Structure 1
């Protein structure tokens, strides 16, 4: 199984009473899949899982499992412990678990490798490593990444290192055929695809799913000029959507589009500002008005 294409890490919409708006969440999943997404991510950081109760997390996962089963779509689920992974064995719809490199501890490359080896042995589903060093504090070199890619049960990586560095170039030059590299840094997805990435886990795809699907198709087809043009426009959109802590701006845009009942986020996040939302909506309009 090689993961490829666009995966939308879904927000958790809230209603006017502050509860999870499950109907709006259901609609968002269908919209993403209708627009060509390969699948969705449940309970990733974009979904504010730490701010949800256990019951709310179960309800979110129930909704996404049901839709993905109905649509035969891929479902990735954020899970970072043996206990959370084992619970996924009760959900046959789950394609893989998205597992964060251990944050804060900085155990070194060998510690990270041992950690994922332990998780993979215990997990009933394959793992996708989430590597985001500017959040976790743990850097991994190209050799570390190759060793992770060689672990049984590890099928991919969400690669979000803040740009394109030397280790990224080195790593992408030598990837085993059945291991997926999924870009997780929305602004840099186009150059990452140019270097050989298979797809992306892209929060910006909430508002431009069709366009990110097209971008991946253009790079995979070798249409360099078309991919570059679209990639520049999508990078500008992503910059606007991440101008404040994610997913505040995305939620504000979705609310302005009438797709979710409120733009609310939960603490410690704060709602996006009016000016930031205006710029993001302008970027969406610009993307729609450029001739293909």
Structure 2
């Protein structure tokens, strides 16, 4: 499995009764793949998995697996039928240290039915990892990539991209830093913002990969304000509000502990979404 291009971590839309709107999810998944996304991510943070029942989570994965199969596209998500690779979070809260994280992924890779994509998001997990540790994790058999979301364009990302491990894909997990990370050699991104302007995020990625620097810089500068606006309030509230305003999902609802996007955040995002 080659991890390159734009992967969209799908929202979970809800209908007027509060139930998961599976038909809307299916339509939205087809839309982003038709617009050029490489693949989808099921039940990432953007999908509000902790607020879903086990049955709802199973239903989301089944819908996205069916859509991906129809497009011959990869699905990243929890291991199961139709899932190509597992998005695996660095162990949160316990802060086991670099050697503990390495041991965790060693054991997980040995038991997983699918390859792993490491999700490194230290502001959520509380566990920082330097480039040397990430390189050790990248060397594990069946670890094929990383979603890198440190909230900064930092020295560890630069060091990792300066000498990337063979067969290991560096994917931006911070939408705002997609363009500079692509310029440094990233393979692509897992981008909640790409629910919107999917084709432009795809074009940005292709422009950097093809060496069209003028187009890449122009697109990067144009898309950064959209990503900033979509993350102005806790994700995915603003994304859902915009998708609802565009008539693509039946409600803008999120589940607690998230709250709906404010009118000001929606207005600001809509200005950049056209």
Match of 2:121 in 1: 132
Q: Quick one: which of 100, 121, 125 aligns to 1:111? A: 100
Match of 1:197 in 2: 186
Contact 1:127 1:156 (8 Å CA) reproduced:
yes
Match of 1:149 in 2: 138
Match of 1:174 in 2: 163
Shift of 1:68: 1.1
Residues 1:5 and 2:9 are matched in the alignment = no
Shift of 1:2: 2.4
Contact 1:215 1:231 (8 Å CA) reproduced:
yes
Match of 1:18 in 2: 18
List 4+ stretches of structure 1 deviating above 2 A. none
Contact 1:2 1:179 (8 Å CA) reproduced:
no
After superposition, give the CA deviation of every residue in 1:22-60 in whole Å (9 maximum; x if it has no partner): 000000110011000010000111000000000100111
Total equivalences in the alignment? 274
Contact 1:248 1:265 (8 Å CA) reproduced:
yes
C-alpha distance in 2, partners of 1:237/1:177?
33
Unaligned runs of 5+ in 1: 80-84, 286-292
C-alpha distance in 2, partners of 1:268/1:176?
39
C-alpha distance in 1, partners of 2:108/2:152?
28
- The farther-off stretch of 224-233 and 184-193 is 224-233
TM-score for the superposition, normalised by structure 2: 0.99
CA RMSD of aligned residues (A): 0.8
Shift of 1:176: 2.2
Residues 1:246 and 2:219 are matched in the alignment = no
Match of 1:37 in 2: 37
C-alpha distance in 2, partners of 1:223/1:203?
24
Contact 1:183 1:197 (8 Å CA) reproduced:
yes
Unaligned runs of 5+ in 2: none
Q: Quick one: which of 233, 236, 259 aligns to 1:270? A: 259
Match of 2:28 in 1: 28
- Report SS of the residue matched to 1:204: helix
